[in-house]
């Protein structure tokens, strides 16, 4: 069940919920790029891989997109529809082609530019070289999507229908059961953290682009891929949490061993002790520990990538501090493992 909280009239609305639409569009992406799903141990996903073989220009298009089809999640954010797949598909179909492309490309190429390309195909390469290339790596694929949008959309809807025909929705309840502990943990953390702070903590970085969002969604996902992902516009931020890479304990014994190996170094332990007291930047740590900057940078990157440290950028300086919430949970998981 979703949870909504509003502490004051001006406070943003916060929703913690599963999402059928996000899982549907995410599993479409995994069927196109199977490498993204290599680490997913899930019966529904394995069954989809066996039964559905996507082919043709639509697959080529998605592979050439920067996010391999996660772009369709822009419409989940636009319409704020997390559960009703049919309603979301109806709303996408109701968009005119220029509006579809405008939102599909994250509002980063304006409607006039899109219309000018559709009226004069020779302009495509100019716009591709000056921005569109950041969304579509292949100019011919960009041309197909922008100038032959009905075909692209038809193939998208056909792919979605294939996924639904093999029982995707009927089996979602079992998938969502696996998300309950993570959703509850998010709710607990929101009692102590502001939603934007929690989003940055989950992604281990300070966001360069932020807004005064009036609504936040925290959505556990089995199929988003290897990493937590955020989508945002000026009003809404959707934080999609990869349950295969969750901060709540370890997903496997191997993950626990990797964590212990990461901290099992004298210099890294010294860095952790210092950062547990104050946030510091690399040169400060190097001076205190009498290490060269490159060595300290190496240790910091290892621990940041492992989720042990949080990076905060102030002006042009990167400060680091310990991710105390995550470290505490991991040590509790280790204690639980030892006592079993």
Query: In this predicted model, what pLDDT tens digit does every residue of 218-233 receive, in sequence order?
Result: 999 988 877 789 999 8
Contacts of 204 (CB under 8 A, 6+ apart): 304, 307, 309, 310, 311, 323
Task: With beta carbons less than 8 A apart as the criterion, state whether 189 and 325 touch.
Answer: yes
Q: Which two tokens stand for residue 170?
A: 């009927």
132-to-73, 144, 171, 321 alpha-carbon distances in Å: 18, 13, 37, 37
Query: In this predicted model, what pLDDT tens digit does every residue of 39-94 receive, in sequence order?
Result: 565 677 777 777 787 777 888 888 888 888 889 999 999 999 999 999 999 999 99
The full set of domains in the chain, from first to last, is: 3-18+179-245 (no CATH), 20-174 (no CATH), 253-339 (1.10.10.10)
Q: Where are the alpha helices (DSSP H) in the chain?
A: 20-32, 43-51, 57-64, 73-79, 85-94, 97-104, 111-119, 124-129, 139-147, 149-165, 172-177, 180-190, 195-203, 253-263, 266-275, 282-289, 293-305, 324-339
Burial bucket for residue 310 (CB in 10 Å: 0-12, 13-18, 19+): buried
Query: In this predicted model, what pLDDT tens digit does every residue of 198-219 receive, in sequence order?
Result: 999 888 788 988 899 999 999 9
Does position 319 have pLDDT exceeding 90, yes or no?
yes
């Amino acid at each position: 069940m979703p949870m909504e909280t509003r502490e004051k009239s001006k406070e943003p609305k916060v929703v913690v919920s599963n999402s059928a639409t996000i899982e549907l569009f995410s599993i479409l992406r995994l069927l196109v790029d199977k490498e993204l799903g290599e680490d997913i141990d899930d019966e529904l996903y394995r069954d989809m891989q066996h039964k559905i073989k996507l082919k043709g220009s639509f697959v080529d298009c998605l592979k050439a997109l920067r996010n391999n089809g996660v772009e369709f999640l822009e419409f989940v954010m636009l319409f704020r529809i997390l559960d009703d797949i049919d309603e979301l598909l109806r709303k996408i179909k109701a968009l005119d082609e220029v509006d579809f492309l405008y939102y599909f490309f994250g509002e980063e190429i304006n409607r006039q530019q899109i219309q000018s390309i559709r009226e004069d195909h020779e302009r495509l390469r100019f716009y591709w070289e000056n921005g569109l290339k950041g969304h579509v790596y292949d100019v011919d694929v960009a041309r197909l999507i922008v100038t032959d949008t009905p075909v692209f959309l038809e193939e998208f809807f056909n792919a979605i229908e294939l996924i639904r025909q093999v029982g995707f929705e009927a089996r979602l309840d079992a998938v969502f059961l696996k998300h309950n502990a993570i959703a509850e943990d998010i709710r607990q953390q929101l009692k102590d953290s502001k939603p934007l702070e929690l989003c940055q903590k989950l992604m281990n970085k300070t966001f360069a682009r932020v807004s005064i969002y009036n609504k936040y969604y925290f959505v556990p996902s089995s199929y988003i891929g290897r990493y937590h992902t955020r989508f945002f516009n000026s009003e809404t931020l959707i934080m999609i949490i990869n349950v295969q890479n969750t901060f709540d304990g370890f997903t496997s014994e191997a993950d626990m061993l990797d964590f212990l190996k990461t901290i099992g170094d004298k210099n890294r332990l010294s860095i952790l002790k210092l950062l547990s007291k104050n946030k510091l930047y690399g040169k400060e740590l190097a001076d205190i520990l009498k290490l060269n900057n490159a060595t300290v940078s190496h240790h910091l990157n290892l621990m940041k990538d492992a989720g042990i440290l949080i990076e905060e950028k102030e002006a042009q300086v990167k400060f680091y501090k310990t991710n105390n919430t995550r470290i505490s949970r991991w040590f509790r998981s280790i204690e639980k493992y030892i006592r079993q």
